[in-house]
């Protein structure tokens, strides 16, 4: 389960519009509550590491950027609890490509950006057997 | 060679919440396989259906990505520290 405050949702939507027609990406920094739910405190925008000509439908946060995001989170007393990205002119639903590259436990927030304007925002967690995403928001 | 493998947060659900575990191997591929054999539920997240390490799983020996060393064939010595570092990737179809 994820708790995503309106301020974080708004920031992700803004990032999606800023990056349009390309995909934006970043980390969700936060903590775990007593019931094991993930509570987002802030977002950390990260450079889309894919080639420019592929960024309209792909993103990657490379290992060096991953480690940097972990370091930033620790410095703020937080953990990396998930990631977000945008789907320009596509629905806020995970693609097969998303599922094939996902890890368990993290929350994956997706914002749909249609014609440059952010719309639906959803969040998903990979099922333990990698067969599907479970919608959590 | 006994080595230490550091585990990212997302995969600790498969290692009894341990942030690092011990494994044995003369080369990195053997150490990762030994680790996966000890925690079999993690296998599907490390390896694809063909048994190849997933492309988004990166391994660091100390501070160096093994892609800049000898890859999975890089030899290990006692006390080496390996770190599993995922790349996060995705995107809309097609």
Is residue B57 within 8 angstroms of chain A, CB to CB?
no
Nearest CA among B7, B45, B38 for reference residue B23 = B38
Q: In chain A, what residues touch B93 (CB-CB under 8 Å)?
A: 57, 90, 95-97
User: pLDDT category, B49, cuts 50, 70, 90?
Assistant: very high
* Average pLDDT taken over every residue of chain B: 95
pLDDT of residue A106: 95
Find, in chain B, the residue whose alpha carbon is nearest to that of A101: B89
Whether A107 contacts B88, CB under 8 Å: no
Pair type for strands A25-32 and B64-65 = unpaired
* Average pLDDT taken over every residue of chain A: 96
Is residue B87 within 8 angstroms of chain A, CB to CB?
yes
Residue range A31-45: mean pLDDT, rounded: 93
pLDDT of residue A11: 98
**Mutation choice for B interface testing from A30, A48, A101 by most B CBs within 10 A:** A101
Phi and psi at residue A134, in whole multiples of 5°? -105, 125
Whether A126 contacts A107, CB under 8 Å: no
**Chain A nearest CA to B32, separation (Å):** 17
pLDDT of residue A36: 81
Which residues touch A54 (CB under 8 Å, ≥6 apart)? Answer: none
B94, pLDDT greater than 90? no
- Name the maximum alpha-carbon separation found in chain B: 46
Residue range A42-52: mean pLDDT, rounded: 97
Is residue B90 within 8 angstroms of chain A, CB to CB?
yes
Cβ neighbours around B79 below 10 Å, total: 9
pLDDT of residue A113: 98
pLDDT of residue A116: 98
Residue range A41-54: mean pLDDT, rounded: 97
Which residues touch A77 (CB under 8 Å, ≥6 apart)? Answer: none
Enumerate domains of chain B plus CATH numbers.
2-86 (3.10.20.30)
Q: In chain B, what residues touch A130 (CB-CB under 8 Å)?
A: 44-45
For residue B80, how many C-alpha atoms fall within 13 Å in the half-sphere facing its CB?
Answer: 24
Question: Using CA atoms in the order A8, A30, A99, B29, what is the torsion angle rounded to 10 degrees?
Answer: 150
pLDDT of residue B1: 81
CB-count burial class (<10 Å; 0-12, 13-18, 19+) for A35: exposed
B93, pLDDT greater than 90? no
* Pairwise CA distance, residues B33 & B31, whole Å: 5
Whether B6 contacts B57, CB under 8 Å: no
Is residue B50 within 8 angstroms of chain A, CB to CB?
no
Tokens representing A70 are 């972990």
With 0.90 as the threshold, say if the pTM is over it.
yes
Residue range A81-103: mean pLDDT, rounded: 96
Residues 60-119 of A with CB under 8 A from B: 60-63, 66-67, 79-80, 83, 85, 87-88, 90, 94-98, 101-106, 108
Q: What is the pLDDT of residues A53-86, one digit of tens each?
A: 999 999 999 999 999 999 999 999 999 999 999 9
A122, pLDDT greater than 80? yes
Residue range A109-130: mean pLDDT, rounded: 97
Residue range A82-91: mean pLDDT, rounded: 98
């Amino acid at each position: 389960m994820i708790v995503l405050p309106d301020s974080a949702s708004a920031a992700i939507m803004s990032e999606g519009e800023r990056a349009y027609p390309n995909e934006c990406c970043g980390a969700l920094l936060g903590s775990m509550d007593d019931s094991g739910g993930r509570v987002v405190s802030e977002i950390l925008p990260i450079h889309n590491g894919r080639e420019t000509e592929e960024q309209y439908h792909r993103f990657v946060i490379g290992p060096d950027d991953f480690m940097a995001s972990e370091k930033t989170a620790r410095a703020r007393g937080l953990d990396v609890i998930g990631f977000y990205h945008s789907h320009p002119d596509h629905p806020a639903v995970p693609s097969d490509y998303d599922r094939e590259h996902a890890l368990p436990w993290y929350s994956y927030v997706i914002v749909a950006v249609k014609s440059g304007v952010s719309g639906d925002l959803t969040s998903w967690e990979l099922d333990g057997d990698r067969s599907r995403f479970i919608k959590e928001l | 060679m006994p080595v230490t493998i550091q585990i990212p947060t997302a995969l600790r659900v498969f290692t009894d919440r341990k942030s690092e575990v011990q494994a044995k191997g003369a080369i990195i591929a053997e150490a990762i396989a030994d680790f996966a054999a000890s925690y079999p539920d993690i296998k599907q997240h490390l390896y694809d259906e063909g048994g190849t390490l997933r492309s988004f799983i990166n391994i660091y020996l100390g501070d160096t990505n093994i892609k800049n060393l000898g890859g999975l064939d890089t030899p290990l010595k006692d006390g080496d520290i390996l770190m599993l570092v995922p790349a996060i990737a995705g995107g809309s179809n097609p």
